[in-house]
Amino acid sequence: MSDVLLINGPNLARLGQRAPSIYGHVTLRQIEEKVHHRVEAAGLSLKCFQSDVEGEIIRFVDAHRDARGLIINPGALMMSGWSLRDCLEDFDGYKIEIHISNIFAREAFRTRSVLADVMNGMIAGLGVVAYTLAVSAIEAVIRPETAGAK
């Protein structure tokens, strides 16, 4: 069993190359390494996954339903991922949706997430630090007696 799932949706494999003025220069691999170190420091385990295909993300979640927490940057699936929303609705672990950019300060079509109402929380606009902040939130829920002690 993995304690924490880290899921990145469409186009996020191109982080570091895609629109650096919006998403920065950090690669997905670098983000995964930072999250891995943060999860490990919390005494938890991590499983990472990225796909441009909604169905593959759903299969990944279904295969890891015993995870205690889930961090997802759904990319554009936040606007169109109704099947993903249904999959996440009955995921029992703590769920955090993240976005590197401030989606509320961008185009109007980016301001509504179809996933938001089934998530426990959302972090947007803080850059890639959102990923490790999400780990801290999950740690506080999973292990409240040790959260923040490190």
Instruction: Choose, from 64, 94, 99, 131, the residue flagged as catalytic.
Output: 99
The tokens for 113 are 């997430």
What's the Cα-to-Cα distance from 71 to each of 107, 133, 136, rounded to whole Å?
Answer: 24, 10, 11
Contact 97, 126 (CB under 8 A): no
**pLDDT for residue 35 is more than 60:** yes
Q: 């499983």: which residue's tokens?
A: 47
Domain-located, residue 21: yes
Domain-located, residue 83: yes
pTM, whole model, 2 decimals? Answer: 0.91
Domain-located, residue 130: yes
Q: Is 99 a catalytic residue?
A: yes
Q: For 70, phi and psi rounded to 5 degrees?
A: -140, 130
Domain-located, residue 59: yes
What total number of domains does the chain contain? 1
Domain-located, residue 111: yes
What is the CATH number for 47?
A: 3.40.50.9100
Contact 147, 139 (CB under 8 A): yes
Q: Using CA atoms, how far apart are residues 93 and 129, in angstroms rounded to an integer?
A: 22
Domain-located, residue 56: yes
Better-predicted residue by pLDDT, 19 or 72: 72
Distance of CA 130 to the CA centre of its chain: 9
Q: Is 23 a catalytic residue?
A: yes
Instruction: Choose, from 23, 64, 94, 131, the residue flagged as catalytic.
Output: 23
Distance of CA 124 to the CA centre of its chain: 11
Domain-located, residue 150: no
Q: Using CA atoms, how far apart are residues 122 and 138, in angstroms rounded to an integer?
A: 12
Query: Average pLDDT in the 50-54 region?
Result: 98
Confidence of residue 148 (pLDDT cuts 50, 70, 90): low
The amino acid at residue 81 is: G
Which residues, at least 6 apart from 53, have a Cβ–Cβ distance to it below 8 Å?
Answer: 10
Q: Note the pLDDT of residue 19.
A: 75
Domain-located, residue 147: no
User: Order of strands, edge to edge, in the sheet holding 121-124?
Assistant: 46-50, 4-8, 69-73, 94-99, 121-124
pLDDT tens sequence across 113-144: 999 999 999 999 999 999 999 999 999 998 77
- What DSSP state is assigned to residue 5? E
The residue range of the domain holding 18 is 4-142
**pLDDT for residue 93 is more than 70:** yes
